[in-house]
């Protein structure tokens, strides 16, 4: 898993969702996680013209990830708790957390409910 994603790189893949969930508190504050740079500088000099306030993009990502997690109910709560407490390897997540992560890790939101989707997934595995 990468240490940093720019907003333009986000396609809501599993590793990106884990990274975003780990960063939810920062995103809620309207701040994008800083890119780890070996030089020690946190801002690259240059004039950049922005069309919106700096906090809009992080807050939008926070809202999207939070909404997706809400749709998964208790499984999403488990997923969020595990990731925010340092469990970021998919292999070691609880089964319900894996199911929630799989549900939310898509470019466009799923139309089916989490319960219907998970039921369909379990049926497929039999």
If DSSP states are collapsed to H, E and C, what string results for the chain? CCCCCCHHHCCCCHHHHHHHHHCHHHHHCCCCCCCCCCCCCCCCCCCCCCCCCCCHHHHHHHHHHHHHHHHCCHHHHHHHHHHHCCCCCHHHCCHHHHHHHHHHCCCCCCCCCHHHHHHHHHHHHC
The answer as to whether 46 is a domain residue is no
Q: Quick one: pLDDT at residue 37?
A: 77
Number of structural domains the chain divides into = 1
The answer as to whether 44 is a domain residue is no
The answer as to whether 28 is a domain residue is yes
The answer as to whether 93 is a domain residue is yes
The answer as to whether 2 is a domain residue is no
The answer as to whether 33 is a domain residue is yes
The answer as to whether 1 is a domain residue is no
pLDDT in tens, 27-77: 999 999 998 876 555 555 555 666 788 899 999 999 999 999 999 999 999
Q: Quick one: pLDDT at residue 51?
A: 76
The answer as to whether 81 is a domain residue is yes
Does position 11 have pLDDT exceeding 80, yes or no?
A: yes
Q: Quick one: pLDDT at residue 39?
A: 54
Determine the structural domain holding residue 92 and report its residue range.
7-37+52-125
């Amino acid at each position: 898993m990468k240490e940093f994603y720019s907003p333009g790189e986000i396609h809501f893949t599993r590793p990106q969702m884990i990274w975003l969930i780990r960063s939810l508190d920062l995103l809620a504050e309207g701040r994008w996680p800083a890119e780890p740079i070996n030089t020690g500088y946190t801002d690259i000099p240059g004039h950049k013209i922005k069309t919106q306030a700096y906090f809009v993009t992080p807050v939008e990502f926070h809202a999207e990830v939070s909404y997706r997690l809400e749709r998964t109910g208790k499984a999403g709560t488990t997923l969020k708790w595990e990731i925010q407490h340092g469990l970021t390897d998919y292999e070691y997540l609880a089964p319900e957390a894996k199911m929630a992560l799989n549900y939310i890790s898509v470019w466009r939101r799923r139309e089916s409910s989490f319960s219907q989707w998970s039921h369909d997934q379990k049926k497929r595995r039999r």
